[in-house]
Structure 1
Amino acid sequence: MTNANASALRALHVPGTPLILPNVWDAASARAVRDAGFPAVATSSAAVAHVLGYDDGEHTPVGEMMAAVARVARAVEGVPVTADVERGYGLKPAELVERLAEAGAAGCNIEDSVPGSGELVEPERQAEFLAEVRAAAGDALVINARVDVYLYGRGQDVRQEAVARGRRYLEAGADCVYPILASGEDEIRALVSALGAPVNVYLGPRTPGIQRLAELGVARVSFGSGLHQAADAFTRGMIAKVVEGRNPF
């Protein structure tokens, strides 16, 4: 399988010139990102779940999640879309690939923890899952392998475990490694150096700025559900003014 959008998305992962992905939650936010000039669009599973009325952690029915991804892809037709699919919503790898293709996605995030449990999946088991996704997709899907040890690692050298997992996932066919919540310049620099492949960093309050991440060799920067949380807080603030009888504008 081949996919022009997947090829374009893969080519955007350049260490030192990172792909910036302000994660979206619906067609309108996707168009806002596209209209701002970003060359690709990424969804956030947590943000999409919230607007659909579900909690994050694979509580969203897979049909509804894929329909949301499809709406985003239709809204920005011609722009590569990468979908956050948590750990696949219980789908077998081949079916996951098929559903992503039907939705128009050129890439996906796949995490290595059991959604909602805080438990890490055994790395060999996760590598096997990723290898099966790669085998089913060929080059038609950009796989961003999320590594959750900075979230849930306990009693271990977190960096060493992140590198070990990332290397396994790259060998299994992942295009990029996403050690979510890794922060601090020394930590990010060490991960980039040790992995020797595109690294995705989550941009949060404790993360270096985008320019500094570029200097550290990062290839992709994500915002997770942060933008949606900010938009939601702003909306709630306006509604509070209405409740008080004030003009929210």
Structure 2
Amino acid sequence: MDQSEKAAHFEALHERPGTFVIPNPWDAGSARVLSSMGFEALATTSAGLAFSLGRRDAEGALTRDDILTNAKAIVDATDLPVSADLENGFGQSPDEVAETIRRAASVGLVGGSIEDATGSPDKPIYDLSHAVERITAAAEAAREFPFRFMVVARCENFSVKRDDLEDTIRRLQAFERAGADVLYAPALPDLDAIRTVCASVGKPVNVVMGFGGGLYPVQTLAEAGVKRISIGGSFARAALAGLARAAREVRDHGTFTYVEEAMPFSEANGYMAPVSRKSESDS
């Protein structure tokens, strides 16, 4: 599929009945594994990328170029639509957010999320009026493309321990009016809060599993009104947990039984792209 076809497919996923899972690869290899398992779209993860680069997440350690280089590698590794975690748009101003959306589309993405978090511990959330201006700019930039680029507006209240559901809903409703295509409030505390958010807005709601709050089955979230379910950095953390368990076994016991649970080489190798070799006549 070309970018326009991927965008149309991605839009259709949000418009059809029911709920879909959009898992989060952190590199091209994990994208190829997830693409082979029947998922219909993928989303990048800033946490997974940060860990793969040996950096801490949520401390401004990733640049826009870091995010978009990783996103392009994932886009190139799969035929699925890919949306990106664009953090807070990599700039304070609406113009900088708009430029991030344009650059995201230029690497083949068909969606991206913009947070209302400032990155400053003194004032972790933008004032509502400024946050709305930023989402408006993102939505206007997205409408410049000849395909539908899905803008995801994130309210980070609960992520930064501002446990204010009323304000979260107020913000999501304002982002909806500003032109966001998908609404997202990470770390909602429980299923009642998820239901309330879904009932309070008219656009599709994304909920993340594995990042605060409870862990609920897909069917339960679907019944609560959730349209799509992301994984965040939890698959990356699960992979790191497997690595740590294996390393501790070797370090502490001098044994290698972890190999019995490891993915067979043939399976891992089979997920990856074959090497493209030119024929002698081409060289």
TM-score by length of 1: 0.91
Whole-Å separation in 1 of the counterparts to 2:63 and 2:214: 33
Q: Deviations over 1:73-93 (max 9, x none)?
A: 0000x3100000111122813
Asked if residue 187 in structure 1 is aligned to residue 188 in structure 2, the reply is no
- Within the alignment, does 1:83 sit opposite 2:84 as a pair? yes
Match of 1:54 in 2: 55
Indicate the residue corresponding to 1:137 in structure 2: 142
Name the CA distance, whole Å, in 2 between partners of 1:53 and 1:170. Answer: 36
**CA shift digits 1:1-34 (9 cap, x unpaired):** x933223212212586112012110011111111
Q: CA deviation at 1:153?
A: 5.4
Choose 145-154 or 101-110, whichever is displaced more. 145-154
User: Do 1:16 and 1:217's aligned partners in 2 also have CA atoms closer than 8 Å?
Assistant: no
Contact 2:11–2:148 (CA<8 Å) still a contact in 1? no
Q: CA separation in 2, counterparts of 1:227 and 1:136?
A: 31
CA distance in 2, matches of 1:164, 1:228: 32
Larger deviation, residues 11-20 vs 234-243: 11-20
- Contact map agreement 2:21 2:229 (CA 8 A) in 1: yes
Instruction: Measure the CA separation in 2 of the matches of 1:3 and 1:173.
Output: 20
Residue pairs, 1:11-26, within 5 angstroms: 11-14=12-15, 17-26=18-27
Does the 8 A contact of 1:110 with 1:146 survive in 2?
A: yes
Residue 232 of structure 2 corresponds to which residue in structure 1? 224
Judge conservation of contact 1:16–1:216 (CA < 8 Å) in 2: no
Question: Deviations for 1:163-207, whole angstroms, at most 9, x for unmatched residues?
Answer: 110011111111111111114222211111111221111113613
Residues 83-92 or 128-137, more deviating: 83-92
C-alpha distance in structure 2 between counterparts of 1:109 and 1:19, whole Å: 17
1:1-249 mapped onto 2 (5 Å cutoff) = 3-14=4-15, 17-57=18-58, 58-76=60-78, 78-90=79-91, 92-115=96-119, 117=121, 119-138=124-143, 140-152=148-160, 154=162, 158-204=164-210, 206-243=214-251, 244-247=253-256, 248-249=258-259
TM-score, normalised relative to structure 2 = 0.80
Distance 1:34 1:116, change over 3 A: farther
**Partner Cα separation in structure 2 for residue 220 and residue 116 of structure 1:** 29
In 2, the alpha carbon distance for the partners of 1:193 and 1:15 equals 18
- Does structure 1 retain, via aligned residues, the 8 Å contact 2:208–2:231? yes
Do 2:172 and 2:183's aligned partners in 1 also have CA atoms closer than 8 Å? yes
Question: Is the 1:113–1:120 Cα contact (8 Å) retained in structure 2?
Answer: yes
Task: Return the alpha-carbon distance in structure 2 between the equivalents of residues 159 and 181 of structure 1.
Answer: 11
Q: Which has the higher contact order (CA 8 A, sep 6+)?
A: 1
Query: Structure 2: where are the runs of 5+ without partners?
Result: 260-283
| Conservation of the 8 A alpha-carbon contact between 1:49 and 1:55 | yes
- Gapped runs of 5+ residues in structure 1? none
Aligned-pair Cα RMSD in Å: 2.0
Give the secondary-structure state (helix, strand or coil) at the position aligned to 1:56.
coil
Q: Which digits, 9 at most, give the CA deviation of each residue in 1:201-243, with x for residues without a partner? A: 1113613211100111110111111111111011111122232
Q: Which amino acid aligns with 2:125?
A: L
Q: Which letter does structure 1 place at the counterpart of 2:176?
A: L
Amino acid at match of 1:99: R
Identity between Structure 1 and Structure 2 (%): 31
Query: Partners of 2:25 and 2:120 in 1: how far apart?
Result: 21
Q: 1:64 is matched by which residue type in structure 2?
A: D
